[in-house]
Amino acid sequence: MSEAHLLKQALRAVLSGQQRAAADPHRPAWHLAPPVGLMNDPNGFIHFNQRFVLCYQWNPLACAHGAKFWGQWSSQDLVNWRHEPLALAPSEPYESHGCYSGSAVDNQGVMTLLYTGNVKFDDGSRTAWQCLATRDEHGEFHKSGPVLALPEGYTGHVRDPKVWQHNGLWYMVLGAQNLELQGKVLLFSSPDLHQWISLGEIAGSHLNGLGDFGYMWECPDLFELDGRSVLVVCPQGLKADTWRWRNTFQSGYFCGSFDYANHRFDHGEFHELDLGFEFYAPQTCLSDDGRRLMIGWMGIPDGDEFYQPTRVNGWMHTMTCPRELILRGDRLFQHPARELQQLRGQESRFAGVARSLPTLAIDSAELELSIDGSCELNFADTLRLTVHPEGVTLLRNNLRSGEPENRDWRGEVSLLRILCDRSSIEIFINEGEAVMSSRYFPASTPTVSFDGIGQIGLSHWSLQQCVIE
């Protein structure tokens, strides 16, 4: 299908659907969401020419997974964003079933995308090409085509290139599945982003002391932070444990040491990045001031997503807020990006026994709570957060079955920072020691009420709407 035809269809979908989508009461005030259609993974997250650029997996034609495009936003401050020209449309034979996820780099002043061209065949098999595109001065991308074919020894599930430069060489990690259906992370190097050499597997099932650890590893991201190497990755196929790995697919990280000379990554255990109901496919970038920033998709690729009520209004999913990553020992701590404080209105403060606190509006709001003892926060009778001696429990009813479902974190709770945005909640525990991100869909304008005998010191800010041009 020609690019011109795809662009015309995308434009028609946006023009015919954006008014209905914008009027949805669940539409976020300051989180990023697609104008219409289904959005998932963040892609091409980069600080380039003094602006943050964030691309995203997008099906503008339907609230369904299909042949994905790449949308594109940019921002000076991580708060106010503008739409940029559509980055990629699946118009070529090597990407016939979607321009899948990838990353962006600054190649001598030229913003360059590396992404996966997904191709499915009539017999049910598939292949994957790693492809390259460059951006011109008008913000439009021009495709150079495939630069890496499917590596030998792997199924057609090889995707999501994350690329960086070190000592004059380019490096790429790829998520992969081998012929024994084991998830792996592959490493490649290149002098010019076009000719790539395989350097082998650096992580995955049955490597580095792991046993069976998932049948496919998606969205790898290897970076340095405070003198350590961190691999963020999404293993698919982990069996749920009592308090962890409860979502259909997981997002987490390994902390260790990467040896460029021997192409070896020695690491510790796997830690989940987010213990809420919706979080997947995060991607990081390095800001000009040296911060490692991360944005994730506030969704999970499984059947429950299609029971979200926004689907009837022609749009689905949001991104998380941008987060700053800090390493303490071998654990990542996450903080909402400091720029988000620009959204704050006047602060209101309260203190006392939890059940004595007033009900507060949280349509678009930030809460900060110092907690001593047990309490419960009731978000619009739709989502409940309980703080108890063992930790935190988040409870809601499943959209598909109507049955209660919960997510948990175990540890002592002293501080909560909660970001609320119409149909989403992001809970930062103990200065970012853990995070729980979830969508919820209140029947009316959301409020939060409090119960329990714990002592709470509470700050509340209303948050302004961000500008999306």
List, for residues 263-289, the tens digit of each pLDDT value: 999 999 999 999 999 999 999 999 999
Evaluate if residue 303 carries a pLDDT over 80: no
Confidence band (pLDDT; 50, 70, 90) for 243?
confident
Right CATH for 3-336 from 3.40.1830.10, 3.40.50.1370, 2.115.10.20, 3.10.450.100: 2.115.10.20
The pLDDT of residue 184 is 98
Provide mean pLDDT across the span 455-459. Answer: 98
The pLDDT of residue 123 is 93
Give yes or no for a contact between 213 and 238, defined as CB atoms under 8 angstroms apart: yes
Confidence band (pLDDT; 50, 70, 90) for 139?
confident
CA distances to 45, 118, 340 from 311, rounded to whole Å, are: 26, 25, 28
The pLDDT of residue 469 is 83
Evaluate if residue 225 carries a pLDDT over 90: yes
Confidence band (pLDDT; 50, 70, 90) for 1?
confident
For the stretch 304-321, pLDDT in tens is: 999 999 999 999 999 999
Q: Which residues contact 143 (CB under 8 A, 6 or more apart)?
A: 88, 92, 131, 132, 133
CA 293 to chain centre: 11
Amino acid at 353: V
Q: For residue 41, indicate whether it is catalytic.
A: yes
The pLDDT of residue 2 is 92
Fold of 338-463: Jelly Rolls (2.60.120)
Q: Domain residues of the chain, as ranges?
A: 3-336, 338-463
3-class DSSP assignment, residue 165:
strand
CA distances to 325, 355, 420, 449 from 367, rounded to whole Å, are: 20, 16, 8, 12
In DSSP terms, which residues pair with 326 in a beta bridge? 333
Q: Compute the distance between CA of residue 311 and CA of residue 24 in angstroms, rounded to an integer.
A: 10
Evaluate if residue 332 carries a pLDDT over 80: yes
For the stretch 333-390, pLDDT in tens is: 999 999 999 999 999 999 999 999 999 999 999 999 999 999 999 999 999 999 999 9
Provide mean pLDDT across the span 138-149. Answer: 95
24, 41, 241, 381: the active-site residue: 41
Confirm whether pTM is higher than 0.75. Answer: yes
Provide mean pLDDT across the span 17-43. Answer: 97
Residue 297's φ and ψ, nearest 5 degrees, are: -85, 125
